[in-house]
Amino acid sequence: MEAVLAHLRHAIEHGEYAIGDKLPSEAELCRTLEVSRPVLREALRALQTMGLTVSRTGKGTFVVANAVEDPTFGDYAASDLLEVRRHIEIPVAGYAAARRTREDLDHIEHLLDRMEHESDTTAWVAMDTLFHLAIAEASQNPVFRRVIEEIRDALARQSAFLNEVGGRRDRGHREHVAIYEALLDGSESDAVEAMRFHLDGVENTLTTIVRSAQQDAPADGGPPV
Q: Is residue 201 pLDDT above 90, yes or no?
A: yes
* Same domain, yes or no: 202 and 113: yes
pLDDT of residue 90: 98
Cβ atoms 65, 167 nearer than 8 A: no
3-state secondary structure of 77: strand
pLDDT in tens, 90-101: 999 999 999 999
* Same domain, yes or no: 81 and 143: yes
Q: Is residue 72 pLDDT above 80, yes or no?
A: yes
Percent of the chain whose pLDDT exceeds 70: 94
Cβ atoms 131, 108 nearer than 8 A: yes
* Same domain, yes or no: 59 and 108: no
Cβ atoms 194, 93 nearer than 8 A: yes
pTM: 0.79
H-type helices in the chain, by residue range? 2-13, 26-33, 37-49, 78-99, 102-117, 121-138, 142-150, 152-166, 169-185, 188-216
* Same domain, yes or no: 81 and 166: yes
pLDDT in tens, 13-34: 889 999 999 999 999 999 999 9
Split into its structural domains, the chain has a count of: 2
Average pLDDT over residues 203-215: 76
* Same domain, yes or no: 13 and 41: yes
* Same domain, yes or no: 122 and 183: yes
